[in-house]
Amino acid sequence: MIVTNYTEIPLDDDSTLDLRNECLENRTGKIGYRCNVCNTTIVSTRRHDFQSCNCDDNLPVEENTNIFIDGGWDYLRGGAGVKADFKQIFIVFEEPSDIVKISTEKMAKLLEDIVDTEIEALNALSDNTPINPNIQNKK
């Protein structure tokens, strides 16, 4: 996710360690990357949530400036192109509700898919079509 509303806390300042740990525990902050080439800040908010900056990824390998991050709250994985210019930062979300909103929307879609599957099963029953072909319908 590209982040626009955040406060940056230095990672190399031990005096901010308690604040960073509190933010991680409450999921109101996490480690991200800021690309100094395209001026984009990126974070990964869930497992396998691969995010990359806005740099042109069609450049040859020796000219690539892209950065990426992945892992959400489960792990941290990142990388950068040969010519990348970036900084690892700690981000405190100014609007953590945005993170919750994204998760809520994904959960709603998942529930919608489950309901659709249940409706299909009920429709199959009303057509006297067995869901399990090993079960014979009684008329």
Same-domain pairing of 36 and 90: yes
Same-domain pairing of 42 and 110: no
Query: In sequence order, what are the residues at sequence separation of 6 or more whose Cβ sits closer than 8 angstroms to the Cβ of residue 96?
Result: 27, 28
Residue with tokens 């072909």: 133
Report which of 2, 90, 78, 76 is spatially closest to residue 39, judged by C-alpha positions.
2
Same-domain pairing of 87 and 23: yes
Cα–Cα distance, 7 to 50 (Å, whole number) = 22
pLDDT, tens digit (0-9, with 9 covering 90-100), for 25-63 = 888 888 899 999 999 999 988 888 899 998 887 788 888
Cα–Cα distance, 118 to 112 (Å, whole number) = 10
Say whether pTM exceeds 0.75. no
Q: How many domains does the chain have?
A: 2
